[in-house]
Chains A and B, each alone.
Chain A
Amino acid sequence: MIAIFIDLLKEWGINLGFLRLFSYITFRTIMAMATSLLITLLLGFRFIVFLYRYRFRDTSNIRGSIDTSSKAGTPTSGGILIVLSTFLSILLWSHLSNIFVIISIIALFYFAFIGLVDDWQKIKYKTSLLGLSQKMKTFLMLIFIIPFAIFMASPLSPLPYNIRTDIFVPFYKYSVLDMGFWGYLIFIIFVFFSVVNSINITDGMDGLLSGTAGMTIGVYGVFSYIIGNRILASHYLFYYIPGLGEQTIVLGAVIGSLLGFLWYNSYPAEIFMGDTGSLSIGAVISVTLFFTKQEFLFLIAGAIFVFEILSSFLQEKVGNNIGRRIFYRAPIHHSFTHRGIAEPKTVIRFWILALLCAFIALITIKIR
């Protein structure tokens, strides 16, 4: 919005020197981060009260069953706050005509909607077992994912023509494989789906997802800034993708609102993000993977999520078929509490691991 306003000023012949500041992506990213952080911090508590009064509470809202050592009954669906503050901040600081920004906003809202339906079902039936069925959830997700995949793999794609269906891996300059339209389409559907789900299941402890996802998003923010900048891209031997710089602002806004949310979500949580939050964050991360053409970087930058979904997959699909447990508990973060490590400690250890992964991911910018 501010960018449009300055353009208008220019047209009218008003050209103030300091307004140039607003054309720098770095400045706008930091401002976007600050804006969404501020919004979540200011609205946070009121929003908690709002959710509580409208009975958006985690799994149990029966008065008698309040347990002094469990967190059931805490307001949930806090993801609404994340999505709204991110949206406002994007609205204010980015060029809304940019295709990457538009797709990110659509993904954010659509996945938040799916999550909200799921949360609402759980609240309605007062148990976490009766949410949306896995089939229904998959179907609702595919409504977004398939058109997106077609869009990204077809000539409509905003990416340069020669790298559209190529695959890049970390630590290597050139593309390793051209998958063709169908190959890339299926690749997108598979990766998008698993990334969203991996982020969804990581949301199980206070502050776990807010922290780890923040770091992964940070890594992708750096990448999209570099790849979207002609000089930096050629310096670090990336394929330049015009307009990708704006995605940095989106990611910055998400980080800001996640930090603001963590303010309230850190142990012991006053609010949970619910599926509303986790799915929409997952959607933003997954669209960014394909915009930056760094799909395989997620194996490093999001190693925690990969490990979470692998453990969960092995335990559920393989373990249930052969009839034994493979991990003590799945997803893997529950395994740590099962070993006797306290929840806040587990969360902070995961943050440290995520930070480590983020550093390794950032090294791949230079070592190529």
Chain B
Amino acid sequence: MKKKKFRLLLTGGGSGGHIYPALAIYDILKRHDLIEDVLYVGNKDKLEGSIVPQKGIPFYSLKSVPFAGVSNKRRFVSFFLMFNSFIKALVLIFRFKPDIVIATGGYVSAPLVFAAFFCKIFFNIKIVLQEQNLVPGIFNKFASIFTDVVFVSFHDSTFFLWSNKCVYTGYIFRSDYNRKVNLAEIKNKYNIPIEKNIILSYGGSLGAKSINDMIHNVYYNLLKEDLFFIHISGKNREQYKPFDEVISNFEALGFKFSQADNKVYYNDKYCGLIFDYCNELFKIQSIADIIITRAGAGAIAELAFLGKPSILIPKIGLSGEHQFYNAISLAQNNAAIVCLEKKQNGKIVVDYNEIVDNVRNILTNSELRINLKSNIKKFYYKDYEKKFLETIYFLFDDPDKIEYVSQVIMPDFVKYQLNFDSLVNYLIEIRNINPGNVFFKYYTDKMNDYLNSDNWTLQNKAIKLAGALNREDILQYFAKKYDELKGFQRRNLFIAYSKLDSLKEIDFSLIKKGLEDSYFEVKRECLNFCMKHIYLIRREDFIKEKVLYFLSKRESFEVKSVAIKILPFLVSNSEFFKIISKYKYSSNIRIRESILDSIYYAYQMGIFADLNLLKLAVKDTLITTSSFEPMFKIRDKYKRLISIFEDI
């Protein structure tokens, strides 16, 4: 590899999540003496305006505005501002003449990437994008088309990016993360008792409101456990003063705070520390035993590096819900515990009892603690620096050698979100195996949201979810207002009822309503529900009457075929054969199929006394080759081979 010095243009900003990776990249390149000249492009009013100049990097301010998630009117204005920034970025690139542009996301990098792409006509500029999150924002998705390489922190990110040129490097750390830390020294510095378990909570670089709002309750409830806590609230700003609020919250519960050394006392006992901002976050992280934090990509990478058991609180309402997806991918691998924010009366809150329970659980259950530690370690990729440098070299020398991520697989959570019915099936699958699953919690909240909405399609989804989540109370609520429901809702109500694990009591008036419904799918599902609980309802005369009525009148074949299946349980054998003989030569294949099904089930249950008659009835059924399920041999053989090779 021949060494070369670059003129580097760095960009990215808005929040710490985008700035720190950019600085980390700068550190790596600087350490290997690859930088001829550098310029950081950001918005001077935002966080990067204060952090970057401190590090001694030349800074250029470029105004940029959010584009997604604003009103159409604002978007129109944004478009012109964006265009203005684009022209400025063009001028900047012509003057600075960079060899490589590295963007880490955020609105400010958008005009620069487009301008750089435009300038490719004139100079040889390489454009590199670094994506920290599992699910990229809309800008990064779009911008990835224009880039030469995209560095991703998760393998699954490649599915979402529109570019095929992804390289997996893992999260790129700030250089101080590689230092060894003397734990005792730090504990001494803050006079922390050595034998106590330390629990650390902090938000992102700006502080996290929902964590700040409830953290005093968590630590108050945990006083019995004799823990030592450290909380980092975020700096006071004009709009929001987190530090002052947190202090007043703690003082309201009887804690005493000393402004001089940030120490907190309860009953004159030294029990914790509260900072507004901490320059030694890494050192404090390394002494902590449990960490409560946001699920930003940076935070997760830090946790993975340290291998700490953690409780993650993903921020909701972000673009693309990227924190939620980051958290889910960890929770699915049992690498962290996830607690979700909820909207209550317009405020975003976290249930502190849940967090207290989880902390107690981690402290007492050593097996869980070890599992969390070892699983989260798997998210740390050690050779990120080597891979990153190697790719940068190859980019200039020999682009064919770059090791792109080749296999693109749809992540599980996307698969289930695409189709609501497959989601419902998945929830039913996991509800017995792992009831504490994040999906379970998330969709319980979702269901409550749907319940409160006026839109009937959303309420319909709530019914489906109630069935999947085993919530009989909600179904009963819908059953009470059965007459107001639309056709699909009535149908799904019965489907949901049949998906419940156990039923307290059977609502016969509901079944009656369902059987008298005008919509054929409701009748079908109602009969399916009766079929499931056949031994509880077979004595009811009105069901038998109704089934016979369905079979004697003109009716949808869907209803008729279910009615035939349920028939042997309701009527005597001779009556059954009499009715069946009418349908043996039906032109509809599904009805004929259902006769065979019904005889099979009834035989298994031992309903029939005379087997000879049964044999005759079966032998007489019209069998044609109307319907078939295809089986493609070559696919079968291919699948067989692939499954063998995958085991190797």
Task: Check B261 for interface membership: any CB of A closer than 8 A.
Answer: no
**Nearest residue in A to B162 (C-beta to C-beta)?**
A124
Q: Which residues of A contact B646 (CB under 8 A)?
A: 64
Residue-by-residue, is A66-96 near B (CB-CB < 8 Å gives 1, otherwise 0)?
1111010100000000000000000000000
Q: Which residues of B contact A129 (CB under 8 A)?
A: 418-419
Cβ A340 vs Cβ B629 within 8 A = no
Q: Which residues of A contact B632 (CB under 8 A)?
A: 68-69, 71, 268
**Nearest residue in B to A126 (C-beta to C-beta)?**
B410
Q: Contacts A325-B487, A340-B588, A340-B590 hold; do A62 and B410 have CB atoms under 8 A apart?
A: yes
Cβ B639 vs Cβ A68 within 8 A = yes
Cβ B489 vs Cβ A323 within 8 A = yes
Cβ B519 vs Cβ A341 within 8 A = no
**Nearest residue in B to A267 (C-beta to C-beta)?**
B630
* Docked CA distance A68–B636 (Å): 5
Q: Contacts A66-B638, A68-B631, A127-B418 hold; do A322 and B593 have CB atoms under 8 A apart?
A: no
* Docked CA distance A324–B485 (Å): 11
Task: Check B482 for interface membership: any CB of A closer than 8 A.
Answer: no
Within 8 A of A (CB), among B81-135: none
Cβ B642 vs Cβ A339 within 8 A = no
Task: Check B39 for interface membership: any CB of A closer than 8 A.
Answer: no
Contact of B631 among A64, A69, A340 (CB under 8 A): A69
Cβ B558 vs Cβ A328 within 8 A = yes
Cβ A340 vs Cβ B593 within 8 A = yes
* Docked CA distance A67–B242 (Å): 55
Task: Check A235 for interface membership: any CB of B closer than 8 A.
Answer: no
Interface size class of A (residues with CB under 8 A): 20 to 34
Contact of A324 among B488, B626, B631, B638 (CB under 8 A): B488
Cβ B642 vs Cβ A323 within 8 A = no
Contact of A342 among B457, B627, B631, B638 (CB under 8 A): B627
* Docked CA distance A190–B121 (Å): 44
* Docked CA distance A63–B409 (Å): 10
Within 8 A of A (CB), among B389-427: 408-410, 418-419
* Docked CA distance A340–B593 (Å): 9
Q: Which residues of A contact B642 (CB under 8 A)?
A: 63-64, 66
Query: What is the minimal beta-carbon distance from A67 to any residue of chain B, in angstroms?
Result: 7
Cβ A68 vs Cβ B593 within 8 A = no
Task: Check A345 for interface membership: any CB of B closer than 8 A.
Answer: yes
Q: Which residues of B contact A320 (CB under 8 A)?
A: 457
Q: Which residues of B contact A324 (CB under 8 A)?
A: 486-488, 519, 521
Residue-by-residue, is B556-589 near A (CB-CB < 8 Å gives 1, otherwise 0)?
0110000000000000000000000000000011
Residue-by-residue, is B482-517 near A (CB-CB < 8 Å gives 1, otherwise 0)?
000011110000000000000000000000000000
Task: Check B347 for interface membership: any CB of A closer than 8 A.
Answer: no
Cβ A325 vs Cβ B521 within 8 A = yes
Within 8 A of A (CB), among B627-648: 627-632, 635-636, 638-639, 642, 646
Q: Contacts A339-B588, A342-B627 hold; do A322 and B409 have CB atoms under 8 A apart?
A: no
* Docked CA distance A69–B639 (Å): 12
**Nearest residue in A to B414 (C-beta to C-beta)?**
A127
* Docked CA distance A69–B456 (Å): 36
Cβ A322 vs Cβ B418 within 8 A = no
**Nearest residue in A to B557 (C-beta to C-beta)?**
A339
**Nearest residue in A to B556 (C-beta to C-beta)?**
A328
**CB within 8 Å of B: which residues of A?**
62-64, 66-69, 71, 73, 124, 126-127, 129, 268, 320, 322-325, 328, 339-343, 345
Given contacts A68-B639, A71-B632, A124-B162, 15 further A-B pairs with CB under 8 A are A64-B642, A66-B635, A66-B642, A126-B408, A126-B410, A127-B410, A129-B419, A268-B630, A324-B487, A324-B488, A325-B487, A328-B558, A340-B588, A340-B593, A340-B627
Return 6 A-B CB contacts under 8 Å, by A number.
Answer: A68-B635, A69-B632, A268-B630, A323-B456, A324-B519, A341-B626
